[in-house]
Structure formats: structure tokens, C-alpha cells
Structure 1
Amino acid sequence: MAPEKTVRIGCASAFWGDSVSAFEQLVTLEGKKLDYIVADYLAEVTMGLLARHRTSGGGAKKESRAGQGGYVADFITFVWKRLCEDIVANGTKIVTNAGGLSPLALKEAIETIAKENGIEGLVVAAVTGDDLHERAEELNAKGELLPFNYITGNKDEVDRYPGKERKNLSLNAYLGALPIKEALDAGASIVVTGRVVDSALVLGPLLHEFKWNPLTDWDQMAGASLAGHIIECGCQTTGGNFTDWELIANSPHGGYANMGFPIVECHANGDFVVTKPAETGGLVTVGTVTEQLVYEILDPGSYILPDVILDLRNVKVTQVGKDRVAVTGAKGRAPTPYVKCSGIFVDGFKFTADLWIGGVDARRKALAVGEAVVKRGRANLERYGIEDFTDVRIEALGSESTYGPHSTALDAREVCCRITAVHPNKQGLLLLGVELAPSATGNAPGITGGGAGRPHPSPNLTHYSILAPKAALPATVTIGSGDKMTIKTVPFLGPTDAKNEFPPAIAAAPLPAGNASGETVTIPLIRIAYARSGDKGDTSNIGVIARDPKFYPYINQQLTETSVKQYMGHLAKGAVARYELPGIQALNFVLTRSLGGGGLSSLNLDRQGKSYGQMLLSFKVKVPKGLLASL
């Protein structure tokens, strides 16, 4: 009997700016053993930066990190120019969204460099159709741009299309995996896309390899999508951002300095094993994988993707060897007839100013100085007949300002007075910036410097999400070049006329019999749980995973929507929803209006909620004393 087919896929980038050594690590250490390398360069923030670059004309006259016309040129500079011959010799195929706003331009650049290096017969494909910027007003006029809701049924907090009165920079649909599959079916060795859902970079190759039916093989597609979700953020699966950070920092083969990038070994039934190259730093454990599983999800029973709805609630994660973790049990069902779209518009200008202050009462001095600077800035606005600031935030960094009422560093003797402001025009911010330097001689003692100097205003980019009907968003696949070029339209498959129902909620697990009474101890949550948090627009999520199944009932009982809302209320201004993942003994909390507007426009220090999970781990829980003996 022939051995079961296994497809090995490595991920070499989690975002635009990830380690430039990642591709070289996978190409050199794994060689021909990798069937595919995928690379995720795009995020909500990234699309805004590319859109701003496109609008300003950057890259049109010279090569830059944002490429000519809006692709991520790091792929060319650090990957293709250096490694193209090795990649081709290994026979490893590449799938990446580095095309950004210009997949066709990146395709042409790849082909040009291949030709310069004597590489013949390389077939490169580009997936387009996600860019709705020019069609936005037309779609809106037809009533096809619908509100997006982060918590099902929460009608009071939704994102909407901002309208033509705003200066829209971009609007991109999250395309699915079918165009990638079509490109690979047609013989492409490299597929570059624009905005696709991150997991599609893995699902596309697996649809091609295993010949799944995209209209019926929901569980297999769900498993493949989960594999894509697990590795899309690179080293976050191999120990990056892991709660028990010292295990990773001191891991063999260099720890943090030589982090291994993740690999998934995928099977035809949708199950997979997570691993990494040998002799690299980091670890692949149940803890590192489950933390990534809960990263940036909303309802785990309805993780909505373009090609399938993924149900994560009963997924199992099992250690099967050193740096080898098996993931099983993903379930899927038909997708909705809509696709999520990510847009960016300009809402005035923003800047951030820093003043370093030392000595006794540093925090109080910093806040007093910040308030004085803003008052002088407002006086300048009034003096010149200019309207007030849209928003201002003053923080004393170094005094645990993000922790609000939970701060334990109010007596810090070295802080940074951070002033962030938004104004409809640049001049308003300049009239605030000129008041920073006078603080050194006219305000509190101990001001030691002004950060990077007088700040420069920049456009205040603001993100929003909406829904659009799949029927209006076919993708286009451009394959090959010259007289061998073909162009194919690839529409979405599946339902187009009705939304799917969401699964029922799972009842909370009761406390184990006989353990509810007796001596208990109060401890910080970090003693019995891991946590990982992330962002979706102005919404953050916090996933909490029990270190041992015996602790899950106590976490489940005490971490409620109410208790988390109370603890995080200084940050979470909207609703808090709680979801259960009993398969991995985890809870997921979704906090709306918790990021000050989101990663691009927020005035918060933590604009993407990356520290929120670590913050919640200080929450105090009661557990039976006897259960702590094994810790």
C-alpha cells in the first residue's frame, strides 16, 4: 500500500517587516523537503500604509520597501533576488500576498529577475480582484456594502462604509483560496496575491494537492484553514509571544536570536502536525500552538472565512514528539454569501510627542506637564482662529498607564510624557508641537529630553470593515507571460442568497464534584493559564487557555463577561462577549471599542491589544489549594 500523502508547508513571514532571514532558514535547512513556502505580509495596518504610499506616488520613480505601485518590495530584495536559484532547484512552490495593491507588478518583477538569473520555464501567477477602491461608490449606491458586526447580534456597534465625503484610500476584499488553487492547477510555481484571507495561502495549495471538493469537503477545508491560521503569524506558533517566555528565550539552538519558523505537515483528512526546522530556537508545544489557535479570533464556533466556516470549539491539540504537535477535530460548514472587506480613509492628521521626565513624583509631573502643553496648544489655536483638536491623549509611560486602576508603578521615577493628538489640519498640530520645548525650562524639574524632537504630523489613517456580496467580487488569475499568458475569472462558490445560521452556545462547565468546598487560595490567573490577545479593527480578543484541564472549570466559573468587563473596563468601552473552546480548555473574550479606534488611528500606547492577554493574566482567581501541588 502506498504511504499516505503528506504535504509540508512552511511559513516565512507573519507581517511586512518580519525577519529577513526566514526564507533563507526554510530554504537552507528544509531544502527539498518543503512542498510550499507561504509568506503573509499584509495586515489591516499594512494595507493602509500601502494605500498611503500609492496615493502619494511613492515607488513610481524609484525602488522602495513598498515597491513600484504598492507591492511589498521586501519580497524581491530579501527573498527572490537572493534565493531564486535555490528555491527553483528545490522545487518548492511559493504562495504569498506580497502583491499588496499591485500583484501584477510583483509578478512582472519576479519574472524579470528569473530571466536575469537564467531561470527558464518558471510560471508565475497573480491573483487580482480584491481591490474595490474604484468600485466602492458604485457598490455603495447599489446598497451592496453592508455593516460588519464583530459580535453577532450586537447591532449597536458595527462598522459601516464611511461614504464619499471621506477621503478613502483603499477598500480590499478578503478573497479566498480558489483562485490560488486554480493558479496551481494551471502549473504555477509562484502565486502572488493581493488581499486574501491569511489562511487561504495554505488552503489553496491543499485544495490543489488533495483535490477536495470545495462545495462539500467542509471538514477537510476547515482543517486546512486552521493549519493556515496556526502558521500565518510565523514564530508566534514556535514560541514568539508565548506566556512562558523564558522557556523560549533560553531554548536550545539560540532561543530568541534564532527562532524557528513553523511548518505544517498536512494530511488528506484535514488533520496536521505543527513543527519547525531542527537546530532552530523556540519550541513547538501544546501551549505555543493553542495560544496561536485563539489569536485574533471572534466566535470560535463560527470563524467565518470566504471558503468555509471553521468551528474551533472541539479541536484537539496533542504533543506527539519533540517540537511536534498534532491538531485534529476541526469542523466546517458552508460559508456565507458575503465577504469581509477592509477599508482605509483619512480623518485629519495625527502626531505623537515624547518628553522624558525623571525624579520623585515623575508620573504626576508628566501628567501636569502634558496638560500644560495641551492648554498652551489650545491657546495657540484660539489665537489664530483654528478649531480645537479632534482628540488628545496624555499618558505617563513607565507608570503602567495601560493598566489603569491596576497599575502598581505609580511611584515610578522615570517616565515618558506621551502626548498624542489629532486635528483636521497639519497647522493645528504644529501649534501644539511648538509648545513642547518650552516645557524644559518653564515646567517641572527633571525633563531630560524630547524624544525624537519636534513631531511631524502625518495623515490619520482610519480602518473600517464592511461586507460585500460574493456575487459581485469574482477574482482574476493571470498566469504566465508573453504569448503563453492566460487570464481566467474565478468566481466564489457556495451560497449566494442567504446567511448561515450560527451554532448554539455551549453551556458553561460546572465545578468538579467535591472540589467546590475546602481550603482555597487566591492566585493570579497566570499560575493556571496561558493567554494571547490581538486585534480586529477597534475590537480586541483575549484567549485564555488552562495549563491543565483540571483548572478549566475554575477559570470558566470566574472569568465571565461581567468580571472581564469590570477588570478591563478602563480599556473596553463597548460590549464583552465570552465564548468557550472545551476541546483545548479555553475561553475567548471579544472586547469591542477597546483599541481607541484601531491600529492605524488609535491614540493608545497599545493600539492592537497585544498586551491585553498579559494584563488579564494578573486577574485574581480562587482555586482549591490541593490542585496547586503539581505546579
Structure 2
Amino acid sequence: MSSQNRPVRIGCYSAFWGDSTFAAAQLIEHEGKNLDYLVADYLAEITMGILAARRQRRIMTGKADKGVDYIAEFLSLVLSKNLPQLIKNGTKVITNAGGLDPIGCKEAIEALLEKLNIKGVRVAAIVGDDVLADKEDRTLGGFKDVHSFSTISSVDHTKDSDRLPDKDEPIVSLNAYLGAHAITAALKEGAQIIVTGRVVDSALVVAPLMYEYGWEEGKTANYYDLMASASLAGHVIECGCHATGGNFTDWYLAAQSPFGGYSNMGYPIVEFDRSGSFVVTKPEKTGGLVTPATVSEQILYEILDPSLYLLPDVILDMRQVKLSQVGNNRVLVTGAKGLQPTPYLKCSGIFLDGWKITGEMLIGGVDAKKKAHAVGEAIVKRVENMYKKMGIPGFRNVNIEALGGESLFGPHSRTNDTREVMMRLTAHHDDPKALGLVALETIPSATCMAPGITGGGAGRPKPIPNMVHFPLLIPKSQVTTSYVIGNNGVKTVAWGSWDNNATYSKPTPVPAIPEADLTGPLVKTRLINVAYGRSGDKGDVCNVGIIARDPKYLPYIKRSITEKVVADYMKHLCKGTVTRFELPGPNAMNFVLTHSLGGGGLSSLVVDRQGKTYAQLCLSGLEVEIPASMAPSVDAKL
């Protein structure tokens, strides 16, 4: 437990596997001994799929024991270059770089410490997330009381949920999102570097705060509110520069910001106070910006019902969160509320469902968009004719896109006369050899089809396994969380209490967003002129968060941007339902679009399989009716 009076300072250098290689060094060099913890999130749903696919390929080729199932770049690009300075500064490191093999990652770190002749550093690994680890049956048959996961209901688990694997579809991986308690236990035993497998992203921040401030259920006043605020702090910084101007609606403010703009983006830091409030900031003399708008966008990123953000150790209610600018690039966040968690853990699973292939060809000149669709359709027809002659079943699914021709906008596209597009053809089939014909017939289009075709991809495409992600709820009673530190054995950590009565299903009411005052003349303006937006994915679900640029606009956004309006505008992408949630605290609304990503990040055939563009589609295409007296004088830039 910390005796310091100043807030605990935690910096995050990685939003995903592939984030900037200079980020960790930036935080270490700029913050020095003032940085208590350095955390990193590597494991997106797609990342788990990449690791699982890599392991599956080794298994299929008889090389199961020859490979690395953790994020090796954590060692080669971060620890190997920064360990001496981290140790000197006294900064502890917590990351989910353990991937599918936290123990292997721990052992590799210990070997690196020995190689660098650094002694006395204790390394811990958190295990237990791989719920299939000790099971011969690679199906769901070995579990009791498992449920599908609904993104719009906390009690009706089948409502608009993603499909679960059939009995004849073996599961490649199934990992539970663990919480913070095991990480906290490892810190209490003196761990300085902690690697985990699948945990909720926020646990990397919650755990050190539990340790530093000594929070204990039943002993600490406002325990769940503190846990909720810590979880929100983790949510804000776990995506790196998303909180400091990256992926920000007003992109030009970050791109043109002092100290290098995009070329020197500052990575986020939270300064968490004992009271439960926290400040979001970034290192001085770095690019980007930290404002209520940048932080609000990240708060709305990849959330579902904002009153029930379900986590292993707490339920976070963010509807009344308040943000205020308290200094240059310093935003104070307050108002998070917490509830006792549910009896379940969300799991991230992957199963195999056939194969897919993607071929791309660049097409230029007049009618480029029309040519792209004609070429794509011709390739499909040619291959289908071959299938018939060879007695091969047809495609499971096919998707053709003309990238550069506003393909994502569907019927709202305004660029049918574009002169340069990328023809993108993606196909799904049960037989990889059958997809090989797609690879063979894509490239010949350059000589036997439309004019102005040139190779745009990386040569002849290859079939890859079609992995399908599925979320699942498993009772906590069936999942054991443990940790290993140094040469000590495995130590088990008990779960905290949970709510067996589902009282969380009826959140405390909060004041609704006021109704719009329709007195006086009204005018229409683009949504982007009165709102910020950010979108993200949860399996086959996309959320679109909309934040009013000024509280005065919020009632009019509420009136104009309804569930029906969003559903109608996005119907070419959303094949499920649209549900709207209100967040009066940050002046925002959240739209949850189910079955909207073509199956999700791993299996989708569409180019935006993670919904990253969906907020921009809505901001640029939807309109809000506001009083003429409130009309912005200048259009927002896109």
C-alpha cells in the first residue's frame, strides 16, 4: 500500500498489438520517477484470433510445441530497450502481453533479466483465463449454466446475441475476461512486472489502484464507486492516444497541434486521487490534445448500455460522468458510480467455420467504380462455372467492394464518377482448394477484363481459415484465477462477492435529456456541426457514441437522431436492431447496432469489420434540426 499523498500516476503506451514502438520510451523518458505504473493493452478480439490461428496452424502441421503464443514484441521492443531505466525509476509494468501463454511470457522475461544481468526483479504471471486448458472436449459440452451474451440486455442473454458454435464446430480458443484481484495479490507479494492473458482492459489500472489505496470489499467506504471510477480511468487510457487526440472527430486540431502533432502524439496518463476522481493528461511537449471532447469520445468507445458496463469486479454506471478542463491538456473526470458485479464472466471464444480469401485489384479511369463491380462479379461467375463443372459446392458468401467509391456509404454514396478505386473481392467457402480458384482467376482480370487494371494487393491471394468470434457468459464459480510469482507455486485468488438477485437489471433512474424547445424557426445542419462521434466493435455489434459539442444542442440531437433515423440510414450495414441509450452527464447518447459488422472482426467479409468508420458515416450523413439562432457559423471540417 502506498503512503504517498499525491495521486497515483499510470501511463499507457499500447492500445493494441502494433501500436507505436516509441510510445513506451516517451512515457519513461518524459515522466521518469513520477510514473508509478506503465501499462499496455495488446489483446483485441482480433489479436486473440491471430494468436489462436498461429497456434492452430502449428497444431495442424505437427509443430504444436514450436512457437510463441504471447506478444514477443513486448520483450524485443519494450523491455529489452527500457528495463534498466524502468527499474531505476521504480516504475512497475502491468500488461496483457501474456496472450495465450502468460507463463511462457514470464519465463522469457526472467531469461531477459538474466541476460541483462538485472537481479532482484520479481515477475508474475496471471493464469486461469484459458477455460479450455484442462479439457479434452473442445466444445461447450463440458460447461454448466453457460449463456450467450446479449449486448442490449443484462438478463435476457439470448436477445440479439451472436451465435454460439454448433456441437460439430470445435473451439479454437475460449478465454475468460479476468478481473483485477490476482494482479493486486501479485503486487502485494512484490511483483514489479506482471503479465496476464485475457483480462478486462481496465483491470490493468484497477489492480494497482486497489493495491496502492488498500481498497477492500466490506471495509472501504464507497468501494464499488471507487472501483467503478478506477475502471473508467482504465477504459479511458487503455486505447492509448484515443484519449489524447487520436481518432478524434476534429482531427485537424490534433494533426496541427504544437510539438509535432500526429508525428509526436502524447500517450495518456491518469492521475488517480484517493477520493476517486482522476485527471487525464499526457507528457509535456508532445503532440495531440486532452480536452473534455477527446476524453468523452473515448468514454463512449466500445460501450453498450452505459448504465451497465459489466466487468468482473464491478458494474460501471457512466451516465452521470462529468468532465472539466482544469489545465492545459488536463481533464478532471468525476461521477462514476458502481454496483456489485454479476455472477458471470464474459468469455471471448473463437471457432473455425470454413475458409475465406480476399483479392484486390486497382482500377483507374472513367467509370472506375462500375468497372470494379463488373470485374468482381465476372470473377465470381467465372469461378462458379468452374465449380459446377468440377462438382464443387458454391460459395458460402461473397462480397465485392469498390474502395475509394464510398462503398461504406452504400445507397448514400455520392461518388459514382470517381476515377480510381480498389476492387476488393472476398469469398467464403468450406474448401480452401476451391478458394484457390479465386486466387488464380483474380489476377487475369488485368488482361481479359476492364481497362486500367493493375495489381493492387500483395500478389496472388491465399485462403486463410475463417475464424468466428463469439462472446459467452460462464459462471465465476467455474473459473479459477491464479498467479505465479518468481519460483513460487501457483496461488489461487478468490472472487469478490456478486449479485445473485440481478438487482443490477434495474439501474437507478437519472434525469433524462431535456426535450427540445421548438419555439421559433428551425434549420437543418449536419450532425458533425453540433456533435462529436466515435464508434467501435463488440463482436458483430457496433456502437456509435454521439456527444454534443455544446449542452444546448443535446435536446435537438435527441429529437432528430432517433433509433429509427439511425436504423434507416445504416440499414445497408446493420441487419439487427438499433438501441439508443442516454448519457446526460457527458451530454451524449450511445447507439448500439446489432448484427452490423458482417459477423465481426475475424469473420466479416466487409472492409470495415470493426465499425471504425460508422460514427463518421453518421456524422457526415445525418442532419439535426436546431433553432436558427443556434446554427453554427462555420461547418465543422471532415
Is 1:316–2:322 an aligned residue pair?
Answer: yes
Query: What's the offset of the Cα at 1:333?
Result: 0.6
2:28 corresponds in structure 1 to: 27
**Number of aligned residues:** 621
Higher deviation after alignment, 448-457 or 334-343: 448-457
Compared with structure 1, are the counterparts of its residues 323 and 111 closer, same or farther at alpha carbon in structure 2 (3 Å cutoff)?
A: same
In 1, the alpha carbon distance for the partners of 2:375 and 2:98 equals 45
Higher deviation after alignment, 328-337 or 427-436: 427-436
Query: What's the offset of the Cα at 1:451?
Result: 2.5
CA contact (8 A) 1:295 1:533 kept: yes
Compared with structure 1, are the counterparts of its residues 596 and 504 closer, same or farther at alpha carbon in structure 2 (3 Å cutoff)?
A: farther
In 1, the alpha carbon distance for the partners of 2:594 and 2:404 equals 26
Q: Which amino acid aligns with 2:13?
A: A
Compared with structure 1, are the counterparts of its residues 392 and 504 closer, same or farther at alpha carbon in structure 2 (3 Å cutoff)?
A: farther
CA contact (8 A) 1:398 1:416 kept: yes
Compared with structure 1, are the counterparts of its residues 272 and 296 closer, same or farther at alpha carbon in structure 2 (3 Å cutoff)?
A: same
Matched-pair identity in % = 54
Query: What's the offset of the Cα at 1:507?
Result: 6.8
Alignment partner of 1:511 out of 515, 519, 524: 515
Higher deviation after alignment, 128-137 or 548-557: 128-137
Query: What's the offset of the Cα at 1:427?
Result: 1.0
1:40 corresponds in structure 2 to: 41
Compared with structure 1, are the counterparts of its residues 478 and 3 closer, same or farther at alpha carbon in structure 2 (3 Å cutoff)?
A: closer
Compared with structure 1, are the counterparts of its residues 139 and 499 closer, same or farther at alpha carbon in structure 2 (3 Å cutoff)?
A: farther
In 1, the alpha carbon distance for the partners of 2:322 and 2:398 equals 46
2:463 corresponds in structure 1 to: 457
CA contact (8 A) 1:508 1:556 kept: no
Higher deviation after alignment, 526-535 or 158-167: 158-167
Query: What's the offset of the Cα at 1:139?
Result: 5.9
In 2, the alpha carbon distance for the partners of 1:460 and 1:416 equals 23
Query: What's the offset of the Cα at 1:267?
Result: 1.1
1:427 corresponds in structure 2 to: 433
- Cα deviation 1:297-343 (Å, max 9, x = unaligned): 00000000000000000000110000000000000010000000000
CA contact (8 A) 2:148 2:158 kept: no
Compared with structure 1, are the counterparts of its residues 446 and 284 closer, same or farther at alpha carbon in structure 2 (3 Å cutoff)?
A: same
In 1, the alpha carbon distance for the partners of 2:24 and 2:67 equals 22
Structure 2 residue matching 1:617: 3-state secondary structure = helix
Structure 1 residue matching 2:172: 3-state secondary structure = strand
Query: What's the offset of the Cα at 1:61?
Result: 12
Query: What's the offset of the Cα at 1:530?
Result: 0.2
Alignment partner of 2:390 out of 368, 384, 390: 384
2:580 corresponds in structure 1 to: 578
Query: What's the offset of the Cα at 1:17?
Result: 0.5
2:172 corresponds in structure 1 to: 169
Compared with structure 1, are the counterparts of its residues 222 and 450 closer, same or farther at alpha carbon in structure 2 (3 Å cutoff)?
A: closer
Query: What's the offset of the Cα at 1:145?
Result: 2.1
1:538 corresponds in structure 2 to: 540
In 2, the alpha carbon distance for the partners of 1:57 and 1:448 equals 35
Query: What's the offset of the Cα at 1:434?
Result: 1.8
CA contact (8 A) 1:334 1:500 kept: no
CA RMSD of aligned residues (A): 2.0
CA contact (8 A) 2:242 2:248 kept: yes
Alignment partner of 1:622 out of 615, 620, 625: 625
CA contact (8 A) 2:39 2:204 kept: yes
In 2, the alpha carbon distance for the partners of 1:29 and 1:83 equals 13
CA contact (8 A) 2:139 2:170 kept: no
1:375 corresponds in structure 2 to: 381
1:223 corresponds in structure 2 to: 229
Q: Which amino acid aligns with 2:131?
A: L
CA contact (8 A) 2:162 2:539 kept: no
CA contact (8 A) 2:150 2:159 kept: no
2:606 corresponds in structure 1 to: 604
- Cα deviation 1:333-382 (Å, max 9, x = unaligned): 10000000000111111111112111211111111111111000101111
1:588 corresponds in structure 2 to: 590
Structure 2 residue matching 1:345: 3-state secondary structure = strand
CA contact (8 A) 1:146 1:161 kept: no
Mapping of 1:430-445 within 5 angstroms? 430-445=436-451
Mapping of 1:195-210 within 5 angstroms? 195-210=198-213
- Cα deviation 1:71-105 (Å, max 9, x = unaligned): 00010000111111111000000000000011111
In 2, the alpha carbon distance for the partners of 1:419 and 1:626 equals 48
In 1, the alpha carbon distance for the partners of 2:66 and 2:595 equals 34
In 1, the alpha carbon distance for the partners of 2:315 and 2:104 equals 32
Query: What's the offset of the Cα at 1:628?
Result: 2.6
Higher deviation after alignment, 417-426 or 449-458: 449-458
CA contact (8 A) 1:336 1:500 kept: no
In 2, the alpha carbon distance for the partners of 1:55 and 1:391 equals 24
Is 1:402–2:408 an aligned residue pair?
Answer: yes
Query: What's the offset of the Cα at 1:614?
Result: 0.7
Compared with structure 1, are the counterparts of its residues 630 and 211 closer, same or farther at alpha carbon in structure 2 (3 Å cutoff)?
A: farther
Higher deviation after alignment, 133-142 or 456-465: 133-142
- Cα deviation 1:486-539 (Å, max 9, x = unaligned): 421012111274434321666753335xx4132222111000100000000000
> Structure 1: any 5+ residue segments left out of the alignment?
none
Structure 2 residue matching 1:225: 3-state secondary structure = helix
Query: What's the offset of the Cα at 1:439?
Result: 1.9
2:368 corresponds in structure 1 to: 362
Query: What's the offset of the Cα at 1:44?
Result: 0.6
1:255 corresponds in structure 2 to: 261
Compared with structure 1, are the counterparts of its residues 142 and 606 closer, same or farther at alpha carbon in structure 2 (3 Å cutoff)?
A: closer
2:118 corresponds in structure 1 to: 119
Q: Which amino acid aligns with 2:305?
A: D
Is 1:549–2:551 an aligned residue pair?
Answer: yes
In 1, the alpha carbon distance for the partners of 2:568 and 2:172 equals 37
- Cα deviation 1:214-272 (Å, max 9, x = unaligned): 35600000000000000000000000000000000010111101111000000112210
In 2, the alpha carbon distance for the partners of 1:51 and 1:629 equals 49
In 2, the alpha carbon distance for the partners of 1:436 and 1:57 equals 29
Alignment partner of 1:524 out of 501, 523, 526: 526
> Structure 2: any 5+ residue segments left out of the alignment?
none
Q: Which amino acid aligns with 1:532?
A: R
Query: What's the offset of the Cα at 1:129?
Result: 0.3
